[in-house]
Amino acid sequence: MDLSITVNGIKFPNPFLLGSGPPGTNARVLAKSFDAGWGGAVAKTVSLESSKVVNVVPRYGKLRSRETNEVIGFQNIELISDRPIEVWLEEFRHVKKEYPDHVLIASIMEEYSKDRWQELTKMVQDTGVDAFELNFSCPHGMTERKMGSEMGEHPDLTQEVTSWVKEVSKIPVWAKMTPNITNIKEPSLAAVRGGADGISAINTILSVIGVNLDTLRPMPTVEGYTVPGGYSAQAVKPIALRMVSQLGLGLPKEVSISGIGGIESSRDAIEFMLLGASTVQICTGVMLQGVKMVDELQEGLAKFMTDKEFSSVQEIVGKSLPYFSTHMDLVGRMKEAKRHKAGEASRDNEWGKKDITEKTAELTSN
Ligand SMILES: Cc1cc2nc3c(=O)[nH]c(=O)nc-3n(C[C@H](O)[C@H](O)[C@H](O)COP(=O)(O)O)c2cc1C
């Protein structure tokens, strides 16, 4: 079955993309994922000076189900890529040459400087990548340098930086949003005012995964200490779905949405699409299940389309959005349904089910 979809003029062989993070951290893993059948990938976020990026170990923490021990939540305190930009440029070129039909999206991040953002945009664009994702959303580490979610939390900065990139970009630009704000529509609409062609949502939710009761140290513990990190995996899905639905309802129609957060199966992915996402990204799911999970994603989507008689992936996008309403409207609909039920219950063929005197009393007003 044809699972392709065209978004911002780019044809995706299927809507399943690796989310920025370890699954897209170098050319080798990107190639493996394209061989496995992923439609595209957002590579790990790159910046001009990788020497400023120093990661810690351990940097992940899991939340497990009390009953089954299954991983339901995942926290990381990982930074953006620590690999030099020159190496990345070479690898972007190489991957695009080897896989011309797969979509390669470069995630970029810089400090608050027009020159730096534009220099990075031009360099990466020259490699032939298909689109940009602007990382306005990593919640830890980079904010100390006014990067990442420091920008996504301030709509004026989101708009300004997006417009810097759009000034020099000849390819589509998506802005990736942080969920650590009150109303995701505000920074998203600011990015759209800055010229963004699409919005990716969500990045991780600020979290503390737990405290070790032996050592009394919060986790993940690095030489006795920690910092709050970013929460992902299935536990964040309802929050991500809510935010994607707000974007689906609130963004101009021509702005695309890439849905992210806790997707681990075709069912999860389809839910995001029904609420307005035309592509979906998966990061932690791939870290826990491996790249082969794309088989189930493709099979599940194809089966859903056959069962529900959708003839293209595009038809699914936003299909469930009209069913969001207001509380007042729900109350009104309930009253209407009650009235309707009461009418049905008074039809002539209902007589005889109860004692005739009881039925007479039921239909009598005084
Ligand atoms: C270990 C790890 C590293 C990540 N690194 C990045 C990154 O470099 N850039 C970025 O935009 N998002 C990064 N993310 C966020 C993911 O792309 C994604 O937005 C988030 O984890 C929610 O999706 P998921 O539940 O499928 O993981 C990272 C996530 C994890 C778990």
pLDDT tens-digit series, residues 213-272: 999 999 999 999 999 999 999 999 999 999 999 999 999 999 999 999 999 999 999 999
Give me the pLDDT at residue 350, please. 83
pLDDT at residue 352 is higher than 80? yes
Is the separation of the CB atoms in 70 and 13 below 8 Å?
Answer: no
How far is it, in rounded angstroms, from Cα 199 to Cα 201? 6
Amino acid making up residue 278: S
The atom number, within ligand 1, closest to the CA of 80 reads 8
Asked if 293 and 33 count as a contact pair (C-beta separation under 8 A), the reply is: no
Q: The dihedral of CA 152, 190, 262, 27: what is its sign?
A: negative
More confident residue, 283 or 151: 283
Catalytic residue among 41, 134, 138, 201, which?
138
What spacing in Å lies between the alpha carbon of 60 and ligand 1's midpoint? 12
pLDDT band at 148 (very low <50, low <70, confident <90, very high): confident
pLDDT, position 9: 98
Q: How far is the CA of 228 from the centre of ligand 1 (A)?
A: 15
Percent of the residues in the chain that have a pLDDT greater than 70, as a whole number:
99
Q: Provide the pLDDT for residue 120.
A: 98
Q: Which helix (H) or strand (E) holds 285?
A: helix 284-289
CB 36 within 8 Å of CB 292: yes
Average pLDDT over residues 286-304: 98
Q: Is the dihedral of CA 289, 290, 296, 297 positive or negative?
A: positive
Note the pLDDT tens digit of each residue in 35-65: 999 999 999 999 999 999 999 999 999 999 9
pLDDT at 240 (0 to 100): 98
pLDDT for residue 143 is more than 70:
no
What pLDDT is recorded for position 56? 94
Report the pocket of ligand 1 as residue ranges, CB < 6 Å: 19-22, 44-45, 74, 76, 78, 80, 107, 135, 138, 176, 203-204, 232-233, 236, 260-263, 282-285
**256-260 vs 71-76, strand pairing mode:** unpaired
Q: What type of residue is 54? A: V
Q: Report pLDDT digits (tens) over 353-365.
A: 889 998 898 888 8
What confidence category does residue 330 fall into, taking pLDDT thresholds of 50, 70 and 90?
very high
The answer on pLDDT for 342 being more than 90 is no
* 0.85 exceeded by pTM: yes
